[in-house]
C-alpha cells in the first residue's frame, strides 16, 4: 500500500499494489447514457415502461440521457484521460434490431463500430455486454423474457453483433445481471416490464439463463474469445439469530445469488427456491442445463450492498422482507458493506468458477450532486472505492484470480426507475447543458493509476 495518507481525496493504492495484468475500468450502459431517441434506435420496453405514469421518478426516461450517442468521443477521452484500461459498455438490442429480429439498423451498427474503434485508438479495451435491459418493444409484445423463443431471438441478435464487432472485443458477456432481468422486473415489478407475477418470474428466471447459454454458443461458433457471465450479488444476512431469519436469508441468497451460479456451474437450481417456483417453471426445463452450462471464460461480479432479511409472516413464498440495517448508507439507501465483496469473490472462486478469472464488473455508489464553482467533490465515493479496493487486494493475496476492478459508473446517468437524481458517476453531468465535469474521484483514480 502506498505510504500516502488515507486522505479523503486520494486513492490509497497505485498500480504496483496490484498484479501487472490487473485491469482498471469504468462501466456504463446503453439505455442509461446514449439517448434512445437518436440514430434510428427502436422503442424498447424501458421507453414504454417509463412512459407509464408512476413507474419512474418524475416520469424520467432515457430518451436523451447523457446524449452519449453524439458525445461519445469526449466520453472515451474521459476514460483514457483517467488512465483506465477498459471500458465496460453495452450494446442496445433495440438500436441494432429495432424490431428485435430481422433487419438491422445500419446506423446503429455503425455507431458501435465507431465506438469500438474509438476505444482501440485510445488504447482502451472494449468489454461489451450484449443486453443491459433495452429489450425491443416488439419482443416485449410477444411476452419478452416469458417466452422461450427469446433464447433464439437473443442468439440471432448475438450473431449480428458478433459478426460486426466480434473481432475487436476484448471481453464479452451476454447479459447484465440476470436477477434484475428476471426477479426485479417480473416479481417485484420495479423495472420493465413491471410485472408482479410468479409464473412470469419463474419463466424469466429460466429463460434468461437459457438465452445466456445460447448466446455463448453463438459467439463460440463465430470464434469469439473471452466470454463471460456477469451476475449481481447482495450479501444476505439474517436480521436476527432466529432459525426463521436464517432460513429467510438463505432463501434470499438462493433467489438472488445462487440460482444463477448453480444453473451455469452446477446444472441445477437451489432446492429451497424451487420449492416456491417449481409449480410455475416451464415444462422440461431440466433438459436445458447443458446449454445453460456452456463453459464461460470468466465471471463478473457486480456488487453494491448487503441486505438484512427476516420472515414477513405471510407464509406465502418467498415470505421474507428486508429490514433496515445499521450501517452507513449511500444515496440509494444501500448499506456500505465492503466485506460482502470479499465474500462473493471467495464464493465464486471456491464453489463455482474454480480457477477462472474473476472481474469486479460493477462497484460504486450514488452520492448527492455537489457541483460548485466548476468542481465536484465526492469524498464519500473515494472512501467507498478505497474500502472496496482493499477487499480486492485481500482476495488477490488469498490467491483468488481477480483480474480487474470496474467502477460503476463513468458518468452520472439514468438510474432506471429512480431517474437522474441518483448520481453514480466519476464524472458529473449537468442534465440541462449535458456538460461533463470530472469529479474529485475521477482525479483521484487518475492520480493512483499514473503513480507506482
Residues annotated as catalytic (active site), given as ranges: 177, 362
Task: Please state, in angstroms and rounded to a whole number, the distance separating the CA atoms of residues 116 and 126.
Answer: 6
- Min dist. Cβ of residue 213 to ligand FCB (A): 20
CB 45 within 8 A of CB 193: yes
Sign of CA dihedral 50, 53, 55, 59: positive
Sheet strands (E) in 124-227: 125-131, 171-175
Residue 434's CB is within 10 A of a number of other CB atoms, namely: 16
In 3D, which of 255, 256, 178, 262 has the Cα closest to residue 215? 178
- Min dist. Cβ of residue 130 to ligand FCB (A): 14
Closer residue to ligand FCB (CB): 105 or 409: 409
Closer residue to ligand FCB (CB): 245 or 360: 360
- Most distant CA pair in the chain, distance: 61
- Min dist. Cβ of residue 163 to ligand FCB (A): 26
Cα–Cα distance list, 405 to 184, 204, 300, 324, 389 (Å): 25, 29, 10, 28, 8
Q: Give the N- to C-terminal CA distance of the chain in Å, as an integer.
A: 10
- Min dist. Cβ of residue 244 to ligand FCB (A): 29
* Sites of contact with ligand FCB (CB under 6 A): 29, 32, 176-177, 180, 232, 302, 362, 408, 415-416, 424
Task: Please state, in angstroms and rounded to a whole number, the distance separating the CA atoms of residues 278 and 76.
Answer: 46
Strands 125-131 and 86-90: parallel
Omega of the bond prior to 324 within 30 degrees of 0, cis?
no
- Min dist. Cβ of residue 408 to ligand FCB (A): 5
Closer residue to ligand FCB (CB): 28 or 200: 28
In 3D, which of 334, 340, 354, 452 has the Cα closest to residue 392? 340
C-alpha cell at 247: 432460513
Closer residue to ligand FCB (CB): 32 or 391: 32
Beta partners for residue 129, in sequence order: 90, 173
CB 93 within 8 A of CB 161: no
Closer residue to ligand FCB (CB): 140 or 230: 230
Q: What angle do CA 53, 56, 61 make, to 5 degrees?
A: 100
- Min dist. Cβ of residue 131 to ligand FCB (A): 11
Closer residue to ligand FCB (CB): 133 or 343: 133
In 3D, which of 147, 144, 125 has the Cα closest to residue 134? 144
Closer residue to ligand FCB (CB): 134 or 253: 134
Helix, strand, or coil (residue 98): coil
Beta partners for residue 192, in sequence order: none
- Min dist. Cβ of residue 284 to ligand FCB (A): 31
Amino acid at each position: 500500500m502506498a505510504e500516502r495518507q488515507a486522505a479523503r481525496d486520494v486513492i490509497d493504492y497505485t498500480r504496483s499494489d496490484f498484479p501487472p495484468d490487473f485491469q482498471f475500468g469504468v462501466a456504463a450502459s446503453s439505455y442509461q447514457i446514449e439517448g434512445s431517441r437518436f440514430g434510428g434506435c427502436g422503442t424498447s420496453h424501458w421507453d414504454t415502461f417509463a412512459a407509464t405514469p408512476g413507474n419512474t421518478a418524475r416520469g424520467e426516461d432515457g430518451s436523451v440521457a447523457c446524449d452519449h450517442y453524439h458525445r461519445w468521443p469526449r466520453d472515451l477521452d474521459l476514460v483514457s484521460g483517467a488512465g483506465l484500461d477498459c471500458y465496460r459498455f453495452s450494446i442496445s438490442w433495440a438500436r441494432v434490431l429495432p424490431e428485435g429480429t430481422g433487419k438491422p439498423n445500419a446506423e446503429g451498427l455503425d455507431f458501435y463500430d465507431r465506438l469500438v474503434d474509438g476505444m482501440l485508438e485510445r488504447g482502451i479495451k472494449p468489454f461489451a455486454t450484449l443486453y443491459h435491459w433495452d429489450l425491443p418493444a416488439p419482443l416485449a409484445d410477444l411476452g419478452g423474457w416469458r417466452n422461450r423463443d427469446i433464447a433464439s431471438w437473443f442468439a440471432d441478435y448475438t450473431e449480428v453483433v458478433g459478426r460486426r464487432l466480434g473481432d475487436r472485443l476484448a471481453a464479452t458477456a451476454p447479459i447484465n445481471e440476470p436477477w434484475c432481468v428476471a426477479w426485479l422486473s417480473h416479481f417485484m415489478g420495479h423495472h420493465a416490464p413491471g410485472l408482479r407475477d410468479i409464473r412470469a418470474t419463474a419463466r424469466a428466471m429460466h429463460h434468461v439463463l437459457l438465452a445466456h447459454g445460447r448466446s455463448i454458443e453463438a459467439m463460440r461458433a463465430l470464434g469469439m474469445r473471452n466470454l463471460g457471465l456477469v451476475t449481481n450479488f447482495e450479501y444476505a444476512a439474517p436480521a436476527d439469530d432466529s432459525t426463521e431469519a436464517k432460513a429467510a436469508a438463505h432463501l434470499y441468497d438462493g433467489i438472488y445469488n445462487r440460482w444463477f451460479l448453480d444453473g451455469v456451474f452446477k446444472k441445477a437450481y437451489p432446492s429451497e427456491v424451487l420449492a416456491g417456483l417449481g409449480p410455475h417453471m416451464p415444462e422440461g426445463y431440466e433438459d436445458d442445463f447443458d446449454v445453460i452450462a456452456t463453459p464461460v471464460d470468466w465471471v463478473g461480479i457486480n456488487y453494491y450492498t448487503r441486505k438484512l432479511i427476516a420472515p414477513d409472516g405471510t407464509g406465502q413464498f418467498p415470505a421474507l422482507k428486508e429490514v433496515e440495517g445499521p450501517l452507513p448508507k449511500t444515496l440509494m439507501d444501500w448499506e456500505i458493506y465492503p466485506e460482502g465483496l470479499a465474500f462473493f469473490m471467495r464464493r465464486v472462486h471456491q464453489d463455482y468458477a474454480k480457477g477462472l478469472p474473476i472481474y469486479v464488473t460493477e462497484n460504486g455508489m450514488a452520492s448527492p450532486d455537489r457541483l460548485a464553482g466548476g468542481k465536484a467533490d465526492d469524498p464519500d465515493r473515494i472512501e467507498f472505492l478505497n474500502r472496496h479496493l482493499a477487499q480486492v487486494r485481500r482476495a488477490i493475496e488469498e490467491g483468488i484470480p481477480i483480474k480487474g476492478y470496474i467502477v460503476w459508473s463513468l458518468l452520472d446517468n439514468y438510474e432506471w426507475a429512480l431517474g437522474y437524481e441518483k448520481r453514480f458517476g466519476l464524472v458529473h453531468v449537468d442534465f440541462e447543458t449535458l456538460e461533463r465535469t470530472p469529479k474529485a474521484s475521477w482525479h483521484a483514480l487518475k492520480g493512483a493509476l499514473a503513480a507506482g
